[in-house]
Amino acid sequence: MRPIAGGETGRRSVSFTDSASPREAVLRVDRLGYAYSPDRFAIRDLSFEVGRGEVFGLLGRNGAGKTTTVRVLTTLLPPTEGTALLFGKDLHQCGRAERARLGVVLQAESLDFVSVERNLTLYGFLWGVPREVAKSRAEEMLALFELNEVRHRKPWGLSGGERRRFQVARELMHEMELLFLDEPTVGLDALTRKRILEYLARRAREGLSIVFTTHILQEADLLCHRIGVLQAGRLRASGPPAEVKRRYRGPRTVEAGFERALTGAERSDLLAVLARAGEKFKVVTFEPGVLTFQAGNAEDLVAEISRWASPRDLDVDRISVREATLEEAFVNLVSDDAPPDTGPRAEFA
Amino acid sequence: MTFPPVVRLVIRNFEANLDPITLLVMFGQPAFLIVILGTMFSGLISSVGSSGSYIAFLVPGMIASQMITGAVLCGRVFWLDRRWAMVEQIFSGPFLRAEYLAALLITALLFSLVGVGIMVLVALPLIGVPGLSLPELAVILGTIALGSLFFGGLLIAIGGRIRSANLYFTIQSVLQYFLIFISTVYYPVSAKTPLVLRAIVYANPLTYAANTVRDAFTHSFGPGDLVAGAVLTGLAVVAFVLAVASFNRLELGPVQ
């Protein structure tokens, strides 16, 4: 059998961040919960850690509890159960000193009634950033977030994307060790999003820890060292994106292209061989020269195809396996027909 | 140099939420009233009690009413901070809630004092230099401070419990006009004033403040001013407690 021509293993995952390594925890959350009333929980039983320089993504559907989690962890809401250690201090005891080490971009847009540029420098002033530093940092942020053209305009007159960029830019006016970003890229075009994600990844490499909520799963895949998937206020899974994808991906789609059309007998034989292999699979299409099927464990079936083709002197021109995306894993995790959340929470190191 | 958190918040309050037009209207209206109302009514009213001319009666009242102006501007800053989520943003930063509340009340006081300064400047050509002694000046400033604390605290307490901008600004406008018109800012209470109206006027803290400022201008402090000071102090403490309670129960999140 010739080497598989044009063989590929689906989209390669390009990550902005380096691989996860043991880090000093800046945030340690243990069975944290927040209830609006004794029988109405917004979040419950959340446990995860965020290390120094680590990007942790919180994913979930609307109303899953992402924003409430951010509000509790930034001391805006008091937890009603469980504990969290922020920079090693119990969240209940955290005050000015701990908040001074945080950056927070909330989902709700906040602004002052001055120009974009003055908003940045005024925010710097509020945080005690020296005037000259604030001025130069404002220039840097205006350039980085492409706000130079609107620097003299009031923020409420900006487009949705510009306002979102402004929110992130303003928060980056001061120094911080842990940055909370609640859906920072909503409404941004792909290029701007990429630029912001690259900047955040750079800051993470420099030691900034980031807790990041998003609906855009591709972003989480690119930026986050680890993710947590929230559903109805509970953490359904957490771990590196690759692990979550591996654990919760659906069947992968495999396409095997042969050098010639297979005869009817060959097709039946091949299907029988695959069936005997013991792996569950589902034929999507079987055109004369191309078999497309879905399987959870695609590797074994691909090997079976090779073994079947080899003695028949039949070349397999092409094998492509489309890798599961985080979106597929996410959908599997949070879809309505997902298994009920009664068992132990899945967590990957 | 880094200012203390409260100072940073006060400076930010002055700059962030107030546009020049609003300030012009808020301070321009009472100044305009001193000139127009004072001049017009002075021609009609020969004298008002110990003040003499109507304009000499009106000016101390308008000065006292600046505590309402300061409180309204402070309430506006607070409400806009809520409306534009700056309260949450500030609370998630290196500030204590108490500092934010203190900054708001200081903002109310400073705006009141700015208003007092403007009223005095406008009135000077009309009534001349009032010739206040140091204790009289201190009583005026103390009264303005207590009144700002009371009205500022009251508007913060109300603003913290309401989630609709329309409702808040309606309440604020009604309260503002009700308090100013049913007080002794524009006219004295006399034996001819209907009893019910007299009772309402004396239930209004602004009446005590206006009377005290007026007594300072006419150099005629009496026991009534001690009562006024005590009433204002008590009310200021109550309003402060209400504002703190409202802050402690403040629901963060979107308001309309």
Residue A6 in tokens: 């044009």
Question: Taking a C-beta distance cutoff of 8 angstroms, is the pair A180, B89 a contact?
Answer: no
Question: Taking a C-beta distance cutoff of 8 angstroms, is the pair A232, A44 a contact?
Answer: no
Q: Please identify among residues 5-24 of chain B the ones whose CB lies closer than 8 Å to any CB of chain A.
A: 5, 8-9, 11-12, 15-19
pLDDT averaged over every residue in chain B: 90
Chain B residue with the nearest C-alpha to that of A36: B251
Q: Which residues of chain A lie closer than 8 angstroms to B9, CB-CB? A: 126
Confidence of residue B68 (pLDDT cuts 50, 70, 90): very high
pTM for the model stands at: 0.82
Q: What is the ipTM of this complex?
A: 0.86
What percent helix, strand, coil does chain A show, rounded to 5? 35, 30, 35
Q: How far apart are alpha carbons A140 and B106 in whole angstroms?
A: 34
State yes or no: pLDDT of A310 exceeds 90. Answer: no
Q: Give the pLDDT confidence score for residue A341 in this predicted structure.
A: 42
Summarised one tens digit per residue, pLDDT across range B143-199 is 999 999 999 999 999 999 888 888 999 999 999 989 999 999 998 888 888 999 999
Radius of gyration of chain B from its Cα atoms, rounded to whole angstroms: 19
pLDDT averaged over every residue in chain A: 85
Question: Taking a C-beta distance cutoff of 8 angstroms, is the pair B108, B151 a contact?
Answer: yes
Instruction: Check B94 against A122: CB less than 8 A apart.
Output: no
Question: Taking a C-beta distance cutoff of 8 angstroms, is the pair A261, A289 a contact?
Answer: yes
> What size, in residues, is chain A?
349
Q: Give the pLDDT confidence score for residue B43 in this predicted structure.
A: 79
Full 3-state SS string of chain B? CCCCHHHHHHHHHHHHCCCHHHHHHHHHHHHHHHHHHHHHHHHHCCCEHHHECHHHHHHHHHHHHHHHHHHHHHHHHHHHHHHCCHHHHHHCCCCCHHHHHHHHHHHHHHHHHHHHHHHHHHHHHHHCCCCCCHHHHHHHHHHHHHHHHHHHHHHHHHHHHCCCHHHHHHHHHHHHHHHHHCCCCCCCCCCCCCHHHHHHHHHCHHHHHHHHHHHHHCCCCCHHHHHHHHHHHHHHHHHHHHHHHHHHCCCCCCCC
Chain B residue with the nearest C-alpha to that of A102: B93
Q: Is A128 on the interface with B (CB under 8 A)?
A: yes
Tell which residue, A332, A66, A64, A326, has the closest CA to residue A217. Answer: A326
Q: Give the pLDDT confidence score for residue A285 in this predicted structure.
A: 85
Burial of B19 (0-12, 13-18, 19+ CB in 10 A): exposed
Summarised one tens digit per residue, pLDDT across range B200-211 is 999 999 999 999
Residue B123 in tokens: 């009135």
Instruction: Check A100 against B93: CB less than 8 A apart.
Output: yes
State yes or no: pLDDT of A5 exceeds 70. Answer: no
Angstroms from B251 CA to nearest CA on chain A:
9
State yes or no: pLDDT of B109 exceeds 90. Answer: yes
Stretch B125-147: mean pLDDT: 91
Q: Residue B71 half-sphere exposure, CB side, CA atoms within 13 Å?
A: 32
Q: Give the pLDDT confidence score for residue A227 in this predicted structure.
A: 93
A252 or A210, which is more confident? A210
Q: Which residues of chain A lie closer than 8 angstroms to B252, CB-CB? A: 71, 76-77
All residues at 6 or more sequence positions from A50 whose CB lies less than 8 Å from its CB, including other chains: A25, A26, A27, A56, A178, A209, A211
State yes or no: pLDDT of B254 exceeds 70. Answer: no
A114 or A218, which is more confident? A114
Chain A residue with the nearest C-alpha to that of B82: A110
Instruction: Check A125 against B11: CB less than 8 A apart.
Output: yes
Q: Is A106 on the interface with B (CB under 8 A)?
A: yes
Q: How far apart are alpha carbons B212 and B225 in whole angstroms?
A: 6
Place of tokens 């505590």: B67
Residue A338 in tokens: 């997902």
